């Protein structure tokens, strides 16, 4: 049996989301290869929220 590979070019948020979605859809033997120019990926979605001052209200 020939094992095929899926190649995703670009490891930004879209590439990572595509790899995760394909992992759920493809059979277990299928390889997914994600290629990006950078050596690491940082997801900074919550940075804008954590930089704000938090205030707590009494119930």
Phi-psi region of 47 (alpha: psi -120 to 50; beta: other; left: phi over 0): alpha
User: What pLDDT sits at residue 41?
Assistant: 77
Q: Does 42 map to a domain?
A: yes
User: What pLDDT sits at residue 11?
Assistant: 87
Q: Tokens for 10, please give them.
A: 């670009």
Q: Tell me the C-alpha to C-alpha distance, in Å, between residue 58 and each of 49, 52, 55.
A: 21, 19, 10
User: What pLDDT sits at residue 50?
Assistant: 55
Per-residue pLDDT tens over the stretch 6-56: 999 998 889 989 999 999 999 888 999 999 998 887 777 655 555 555 555
**Which structural domain, as residue segments, surrounds residue 41?**
5-50
User: What pLDDT sits at residue 33?
Assistant: 94
Q: Does 30 map to a domain?
A: yes
Q: Does 58 map to a domain?
A: no
**Taking a C-beta distance cutoff of 8 angstroms, is the pair 19, 34 a contact?**
yes
- Alpha-carbon dihedral of residues 3, 36, 16, 9, nearest 10 degrees? -60
Q: Does 57 map to a domain?
A: no
């Amino acid at each position: 049996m020939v094992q095929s590979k899926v190649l995703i070019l670009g490891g930004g948020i879209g590439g990572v989301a595509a790899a995760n979605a394909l992992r759920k859809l493809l059979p277990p033997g299928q390889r997914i290869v994600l290629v990006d120019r950078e050596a690491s990926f940082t997801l900074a979605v919550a940075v804008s929220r954590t930089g704000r001052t938090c205030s707590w209200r009494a119930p």
